[in-house]
C-alpha cells in the first residue's frame, strides 16, 4: 500500500489520488475533482465537503453527456456562500442543511463569492430567485 502522508505535507495538486486506494474505478484529475482547498482558521469542513461533492457530481454528469470526449474542468463552487448562508446548530453545520440550500437557492461559483475564511459574515445572497450564469442549480 502506498503512503500518501508525505504528499499532504505540501500543497496537494493530485486532485484526490489518495481517495482511490483500493477502488475499482478512480475518477481523478481536474476534470472531476477540484483542487484541495485550505480552510485556514475557520472550521468549515462541511462546506468544503458538500461544495466539492456537488462539483464532482456535476463533473461526472458532464462527462457522461459530453460529445466527442471533450471534457471541461470541474467547477469550483463557493464554500464561503455555504458557510455564510446555511443555518448552523451551534458551531456545527449539518450536511442536509447545506444540500437543501443548494437545491433551493443554487450556489455561486467560487470566483463570484470567494472563500475568505471569515466567520459571522452576513449572507451576501439571501435570495437567488433571479437565475443567471454566475451560479449552479442542481
At 98-116, the pLDDT tens digits run 888 888 888 888 888 898 8
Residue pLDDT, tens place only, 37-94: 777 767 788 888 888 888 888 877 766 555 555 556 678 889 999 988 888 777 777 8
SS3 92: strand
pLDDT of residue 32: 66
Burial 112-126, CB ≥16 within 10 A → b, else e: ebebeeeeeeebebe
pLDDT of residue 59: 77
Average pLDDT on 108-129 reads 79
- Stated pTM of the model: 0.65
pLDDT of residue 97: 87
SS3 77: strand
Q: How far apart are CA 54 and CA 40, in angstroms?
A: 21
- DSSP symbol at 33: P
Q: Which residues contact 24 (CB under 8 A, 6 or more apart)?
A: none
pLDDT of residue 126: 55
Q: How far apart are CA 71 and CA 91, in angstroms?
A: 38
Residue of 91 and 6 predicted with greater confidence? 91
Fold topology of 6-136? Cathepsin B; Chain A (3.90.70)
pLDDT of residue 29: 56
What does the domain layout of the chain look like in residue ranges? 6-136
Residue of 39 and 9 predicted with greater confidence? 39
Amino acid at each position: 500500500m502506498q503512503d500518501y502522508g508525505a504528499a499532504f505535507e505540501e500543497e496537494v495538486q493530485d486532485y484526490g489520488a489518495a481517495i482511490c486506494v483500493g477502488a475499482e474505478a478512480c475518477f481523478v484529475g481536474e476534470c472531476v475533482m477540484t483542487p484541495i482547498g485550505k480552510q485556514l482558521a475557520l472550521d468549515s469542513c462541511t462546506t468544503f465537503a458538500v461544495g466539492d461533492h456537488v462539483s464532482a457530481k456535476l463533473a461526472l454528469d458532464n462527462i457522461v453527456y459530453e460529445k466527442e470526449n471533450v471534457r471541461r474542468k470541474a467547477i469550483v463552487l463557493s464554500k464561503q456562500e455555504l458557510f455564510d448562508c446555511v443555518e448552523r446548530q451551534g458551531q456545527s453545520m449539518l450536511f442536509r442543511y447545506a444540500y437543501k440550500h443548494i437545491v433551493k437557492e443554487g450556489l455561486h461559483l467560487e470566483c463570484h463569492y470567494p472563500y475568505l475564511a471569515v466567520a459571522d459574515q452576513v449572507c451576501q445572497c439571501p435570495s437567488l430567485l433571479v437565475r443567471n450564469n454566475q451560479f449552479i442549480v442542481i
